[in-house]
Amino acid sequence: MAFVANKNQQISLNDSTFDMTKREQRILKKGWSEAFSKHIFPVINEDRFAVLFSDNPATRPNTPVNVIIGMFILKEIYDHTDDDLLEEVLFDIRYQNALHTTSFTEQPVSDRTLSRFRERLYTYEQETGIDLMKEEMEALADAFAQMMKINGQTKRMDSLMVASSCKKMSRLELVYRCVSRMVKAVQATGETEVLDKRLQKYLDADDENNTLYRTPSSEAGSKLKTALTDALRLLALTGDAYGELSEYQQLKRMVEEQTEATEQGWKLREKISPQSLQNPSDEDATFREKAGKKHKGCVSNFV
């Protein structure tokens, strides 16, 4: 797949906004999608991601990278699953306006667009140690500041969370990742007989995608309980024989922080300590809620 920058974003005569009434167009222009369309989307640096694709122009061109990055941002802002976000882009004119795709005859994304691009990012980071998505989000900071009308010359003093570079995980993803990492660590030792069929599913990439990215909110609670049950089972099967592994220590810590013992057995804790494990990739990251916003990282004061 060859890299082709999405430079041509002119409005065509078939642009879908032309079918809207003047009142609808006025409301659209006042909404969030117009701000995103003007301030964020145009400054997404597609060339940064050219290394993920072939330099052979004879191969099939890529899906517009700025559309994909824009979708990732909107996914985090509105807490969508991949499938929910795809539906919004296909049927909601606001998302199409934000991503400059109102003139497309067909929206240039599919149900595999995000997962395939996510895989390319992961593979590249494993090979080079470079997190392209993190670099792009840091580069977009000025654009977000401009859109939010933040004056960088005004000095303020406040406490904050210095963000960890680790991904913000849901409770379900945290539990699943800890179990998955431990299952893979056991597999790496060659002692796969320790793992029963139920635990071996954590080696399946499709199961991971279905659980973490295609689970609707209504089913997240039951999936969380299932994952915690698997975590407890995995601890019982491995025991102290694997106690020196960091994956085992993280799994044990996570279970102790996320559950509590009762006369009827274990149950989910309703209140989780701010010092609890937030992401297996950063054991020191803590949690804080301030002004109605949730943060993961380290507390700090700054001017």
Of 242, 169, 182, nearest to 211 by C-alpha is 169
Read off the DSSP letter of residue 130. -
Pairing verdict, β 265-268 and 286-290: unpaired
Q: Which token pair is 239? A: 């025991």
- pTM of this structure: 0.51
Q: Quote the pLDDT of residue 21.
A: 93
Of 232, 231, 228, 176, nearest to 204 by C-alpha is 176
pLDDT tens profile 120-172: 999 999 999 999 999 999 999 888 888 777 776 776 666 666 666 677 788 89
Q: Quote the pLDDT of residue 132.
A: 96
Rounded CA-CA distance 272/291 in Å is: 19
pLDDT tens profile 25-62: 999 999 999 999 999 999 999 999 999 998 887 788 88
pLDDT tens profile 248-278: 999 999 999 998 888 888 888 888 887 888 8
Q: Which residues of 74-111 are buried (b: 16+ CB within 10 A; e: fewer)?
A: bbeeeebbbeebbebbeeebbbbbbbbbbbbeebbbee
Rounded CA-CA distance 277/283 in Å is: 6
Q: Which token pair is 75? A: 């996914």
Rounded CA-CA distance 190/213 in Å is: 29
